Amino acid sequence: MPAFPQGSLRRTAVPTAFLAMLLSAILVLPAHAEPDYPSQDDVNQSKNEASDKSSQIADIEDQLAQASADLEAARVAEQVAAEDYATASQLLDEKKQAVDKAEKALAEATKKADAAKSDAGKIAADAYRNGGASPGLKSLLNRKGATEALNRYGTLQRLGAQKDKVVAASEAASNSAKQLQKQADKAREEQKEATAAKEDAARAAAAASAAADAQVRTTASTRERLIGELAKINERTVDLEKEHQEGVEAEKQRQAEEAAKAKAEERARQEAEAEEKAQREKEEADRRAREDRQQEEQQKQEQSAPKQERPKQEHSAPKQERQKQAPEKKHRQKSKPKSKPKSEGGSSASSKAISFAKSKLGTPYLWGGTGPRYDCSGLTMRSWESAGVSIPRNSRAQYRGLNHVSISNIRKGDLLFYSSNGTASGIHHVTMYIGGGKMIEAPYTGASVRIVSVRYSGVMSQAGRP
């Protein structure tokens, strides 16, 4: 074995001892150190939890929206039923008036017929006392001679003529009475049907009102439960979550109203353009018809004129041509189709109507009510009645009976109509515009006369102007 120098051994021993110590230190360390940041599993789990949370929130918000939609549908159904009842009530009132009118006419006709029969009887008796209808033989046997015979004959002639007249009047009066009797019977039958229809409408309105009340309670309970669930998911208090949801719903409603307003105004614009186009086409058709009539008249004049005068007629053609063009010039000078006439009541009447409606603020709604409690059309009718302007009883009749103006041109006192299908047949609610984007209304059962912002969802593009 070779010998190593002592210095070399010492230098080798130190590194060996150091390596041994380092190895022992490594052996006591764990196999690997845990990282101090979220692992991919943690990230994935968090994402799943967030996704589940968002899904739950979205589902609950959808349920809240559906609850609100169900409540709105129930209220619309109640308003429709209430307007059906108001319509049936108005129809019954009209039928009662028709019965009264028919019965008065029948009574008068019967009185005239009886009087005519009495007159006919008197004439017959007078004729009998004056010798009947054959005076010839008796007059010859009368000692007073021919003079009295002629007098008697003249009297009988007058009586006969009067009798014919009275008998004809009696028959006419009798026939009239018979006709009026039929009309009165028909009016009574229609009143009976209208009474049954009103009773049916009343039951339907009561059922719809009860359903709306039940939906109010259901919606309130549903909202309370769902908002409680949202509060837990979002780790908020119930009050804070309720406030948050009210804000969310208000923003959605605002956006929906803006869209509905734009849609209603666009519909009104299109209707106005269509009306103007129809008016222009009518004016053009009228102008052409006038020109055709003038041409026909000119041709008739030329055909009937003497031959030697025809050159003169041709010479005067420029004048006729100017006359022919006159209507066209007048047509060009015409302005656009006239708008609907302004309210006869004017601003003063509108102010009175609005003042009356405002005096009823806080009055509970009552379907079929025309005072002291009101439904929607009952309030608008009485409001304008207080201003001396008579309008129909129910909202559908009010829409049909009033002048129409575009909702983009509404002014104070105008009536806004709401429809379930966008047409007059679906109208179920009416309100009164009071300016500043506000309206006053008697809304539905459980609410009171109130002032709110104009709603454009479901509004008709044409307002009514008393």
Please write the tens of the pLDDT for every residue from 392-435: 999 999 999 999 999 988 999 999 999 988 899 899 999 999 99
Query: What's the token pair of residue 313?
Result: 């007629």
> How many C-alpha atoms does 168 have within 13 Å on its Cβ side?
6
Of 88, 82, 68, the closest CA to residue 427 belongs to: 82
Asked whether residue 334 carries a pLDDT value surpassing 80, the answer given is no
CB neighbour list of residue 186: distance below 8 Å, 6 or more residues apart: none
Q: Is 74 helix (H, G, I), strand (E, B) or coil?
A: helix
For the chain, what is the total number of helices (H) and then of strands (E)? 10, 6
Q: pLDDT higher for 234 or 284? A: 284
pLDDT, the chain, mean: 76
Count the neighbouring beta carbons within 10 Å of the beta carbon of residue 281.
10
DSSP state of 35: P
Contacts 24+ apart (CB under 8 A), 187-193: 187/95, 187/98, 187/99, 187/101, 187/102, 188/99, 190/95, 190/98, 191/92, 191/95, 191/96, 191/98, 191/99
pLDDT of the residue at 249: 81
Query: What's the token pair of residue 405?
Result: 């103006």
Residues in the chain: 466
As a whole number, mean pLDDT of residues 345-355 equals 83
Structural domains of the chain, with CATH: 45-234 (1.10.287), 349-466 (3.90.1720.10)
Confidence class for position 129, pLDDT limits 50, 70, 90: low
pLDDT of the residue at 231: 80
Query: What's the token pair of residue 172?
Result: 């006419």
Asked whether residue 133 carries a pLDDT value surpassing 50, the answer given is no
Please write the tens of the pLDDT for every residue from 46-91: 555 556 667 777 787 788 888 888 888 888 888 888 888 888 888 8
At residue 431, what are phi and psi to the nearest 5 degrees?
-135, 170
What residue ranges in 311-414 does DSSP mark as E strands?
A: 403-406
As a whole number, mean pLDDT of residues 231-251 equals 82
Q: What sign does the CA torsion over 304, 305, 311, 312 have?
A: negative
Q: What is the pTM of this model?
A: 0.61
